[in-house]
Chain A
Amino acid sequence: MSKQVTRREFLNLLSAAGGTAAALKAGSALGLLPHTAQAASMDLLAANAASRKVAILGAGISGLTVAYELSKVGYECTILESSYRPGGRIFTVRHGDLIDEIGNRHYCEFDDEPHMYFNAGAARIPSTHRNLLAYCKELNIDLEIFINENKTSYVQDPALLGGKPIRNIDYTTHSRGFLAELLAKSLDAGEMDQPFTDQEAETLMGMVRSFGSLDEDNLYKGSFRAGYAAGGFLEHGVQKDIIAFRDLLQTQMGRQLLSANEGDTGPILLQAAGGMDKITEGFTKHVGHQIRYRSMVNSVEVKEDGVDISYDQDGSRHLLQADFCFNCIPSHLMTGITNNFPIQYVDALKYIRRGNAYKAAFQAKERFWEKDDIYGGISWMNNPSNQIWYPSSGIHKEKGILLAAYDFGDGSFHTSMTHEERIEAHLSDGEKIHPNYRNQVEKPITVAWHRMNHMLGCSARWQRDRSGWTHEEEELYHALQQPVNGRHYMIGDQVSMHSAWQESAVMSAQWAMTDMDRRLRA
């Protein structure tokens, strides 16, 4: 820790930054990086009367996108959906709804009010997901802001201050202050022999001071940025006590807390007003009549001139013959359906691992968090329940729906529990932040995607290793993206390099339709 930043390190940093900037310019000039392009607009050839029958397997958003677009240009689409509802992993749960988790079927008992819903699957739309947003606009879906990061929400870790929950803003303000103070000291130490121009050094030091709210001596002595302990309006604000840096370092949670507004959650996030399945409804208003529910695909046979699909519905077997087939059945379920796909295709289907995200929700008898200055956002806990989400909608109404747990990494911890054990776990975890939690919430639902009927998994996982895609993985991915005989396309977020987002599902559907269109024009 006592090691000072050397002149060489400064120089490396400067040259590295210069190198990156140069690369960015070159990339942009070659069109490799996104500009502010508009959403891809489908400009598909009108259907040929002789080959206009399309079978769509799965009424998730990728399948619905295909049905919507191809219907516009005259295709005759039939959607086979194995479950009783459209939307796939867009699943908004309301009063009376069935949670069809095998081994844990239960009905949602939330109060029957428009704002009392829970998005058990897709829940956030980054403003950069322009293809999905374009459909929302076209289909008149009412969108509202989703509050993701909320500085008044809590951070709780047994290792931090004896498990006492602290506000996110306390954690982040103090952490930044101490980090900035360290950096300022390093810069001071390098001053005699530093490689920056005076102007650069001044700018840098200004950034560091501002980043950490340092005083004129470059020391962090607390900041009003963390809010006031008292006063601040009619009287002078009283600064909050500082939490010692060493105390803050007892938790690993800074890794998430300091990057909450970056990456996928960097852009402004949106949600469909009234529940994410309003997006599904937007599509089904146009193509809902094409869906055959409770239709389980039994076999998919790709032929020279089309695709034959056999499926079971109403206790009997049916045959659907189509000229083209778009298939968003999860890869791990498709491997159990008879098919004549080429071997590399099957290998790719078998390679993908299924995600096992887990979510749970409670109805809150009163919106107790609003009395605690929390309006929307996420509290983070270092326990298996991981997060509490406060609803972005229904502000100041009597009740609301809280996300009680979200394990997006490995949900197996809760998945393997009984419904009752899960609920107790979330109560016990949540009351570490909200002491009266147990008495303030009721009517729980739990959703283990690994066991959801007709799903058995959450988002596809292509990468075995977090360090990146292997060559083999990329080859399998591209093999699966290509059609079989130009007739059968796998689609869905599983056929993307960024699974778990509706945008990826929409784009995979658009890619497949564009490919079909290109082949038809050739």
Chain B
Amino acid sequence: MLKTFLLACSLCVMCVGGVNAAETEREPFDDRYCTTCHGADGRGNEGVHAPRLAGMEPWYLRRQLENFRADMRGVHPQDIEGIAMRPMATKLSDESIDDIIEWVGSWEYVPAEATIEGGDPARGRGLYGGCAVCHGDSAQGNESLGAPALAGQNDWYLVTQLKNFLAGYRGAHPGDTYGAQMRTMVTTLRNEAGVLNVVSYINTLSR
């Protein structure tokens, strides 16, 4: 009784994904599970260190999902957040990725609140010059260079990722060409203080 009811409910929200047609009595599932971690409307959840997806460019989202799926990201043992993400993407089909991108695109972009402390935006502004070449003066991103928007992203996420690039936890896979570029560029930030400064500056920008 309950199962029939649930099945009826879930058919309404079903999209592409792992539903096995031969097992119609079994609880169906789909691959629209992103918001469990990434928060309501994909606005990010600091509680599980999952960044905001709302407003993320579709081409960047696709590349990252494909990188995770291909074990090119989230494999270094020190990349704690990446390791958490990778298995979520491992079993995604191309169709599921298409569907997720469409779904994410339906969420309203709302810039994240600033949370980090200890950075110096003035110093960060100087450091950001190198970043601006690809990511844009307003950190609005540049698709032709494969550089995503940074403005409006959760600052704690940017800090983690920049530190990961610096330490070689991200971008070290030979297939991750954009990651390799980032690893080179991020050396201009030198250390954690540089990371905090530049992210503090990015916090002052808006798309």
By a beta-carbon cutoff of 8 Å, the part of chain A in contact with chain B is 82, 84-85, 96-98, 100, 102-105, 107, 288, 293-294, 296-299, 313-315, 331-338, 349-350, 354, 416, 418, 451, 453-454, 456
Contact = CB atoms under 8 A, between A and B. Distances in A.
A338 B40 contact: yes
A84 B10 contact: yes
B119 interface: no
Interface in B36-55: 36-41, 43-48, 50
B46 A453 contact: no
25 contacts: A82-B36, A85-B6, A96-B23, A96-B26, A102-B87, A293-B5, A293-B6, A294-B6, A294-B9, A296-B40, A298-B40, A313-B9, A314-B12, A332-B47, A332-B48, A333-B47, A335-B48, A336-B35, A336-B45, A337-B40, A349-B47, A418-B87, A451-B88, A453-B33, A453-B36
Range, interface on chain B = 20 to 34
A103 B47 contact: no
Interface of B: 2, 5-6, 9-10, 12-13, 18, 23, 25-27, 29, 33, 35-41, 43-48, 50, 83, 87-91
Q: Which of A337, A354, A418 has the most CB of B within 10 A?
A: A337
A103 B90 contact: yes
B90 A335 contact: no
Contact of B27 (A97, A104, A314, A332): A97
Given A107-B26, A454-B36, A334 B10 contact: no
Contact of A335 (B12, B29, B45): B45
Given A314-B12, A333-B36, A453-B36, A100 B48 contact: no
Contact of A96 (B6, B10, B25, B90): B25
Contacts of A294: 6, 9-10, 13
* 6 closest cross-chain pairs (CB), A and B: A336-B45, A336-B39, A335-B47, A103-B87, A332-B47, A98-B27
Given A84-B10, A105-B29, A296 B45 contact: no
A104 B36 CA distance: 15
B57 to A, nearest CB: 21
B80 to A, nearest CB: 10
A438 B129 CA distance: 60
Interface majority SS on A: helix, strand, loop or mixed?
loop
A336 B90 contact: no
Given A96-B26, A103-B89, 19 more contacts: A84-B27, A85-B6, A96-B23, A294-B6, A294-B10, A296-B40, A313-B9, A315-B12, A332-B45, A332-B47, A333-B48, A335-B48, A336-B35, A337-B40, A338-B40, A354-B47, A454-B36, A456-B36, A456-B37
Given A102-B33, A107-B23, A294-B10, A335 B91 contact: no
A298 B41 contact: yes
Contact of B44 (A105, A296, A336): A336
Contacts of B43: 336, 338
Contacts of A97: 27
Contacts of B13: 294, 313-315
B88 A102 contact: yes
A286 B48 CA distance: 34
Contacts of B10: 84, 294
Contacts of B27: 84-85, 97-98, 100
Contact of A451 (B5, B40, B47, B87): B87
Contacts of A418: 87
Contact of B6 (A82, A84, A315): A84
A454 B9 CA distance: 17
Contacts of B38: 336
Contacts of A416: 83
A297 B35 CA distance: 10
B35 to A, nearest CB: 6
B40 A297 contact: yes
A82 B44 CA distance: 18
A456 B6 contact: no
Contacts of A297: 40
A337 B39 contact: yes
B40 A98 contact: no
A516 B45 CA distance: 30
Contacts of A335: 39, 45-48
Contact of B35 (A84, A98, A296, A331): A296
Contacts of A104: 87
Contacts of A296: 35, 40
B102 to A, nearest CB: 13
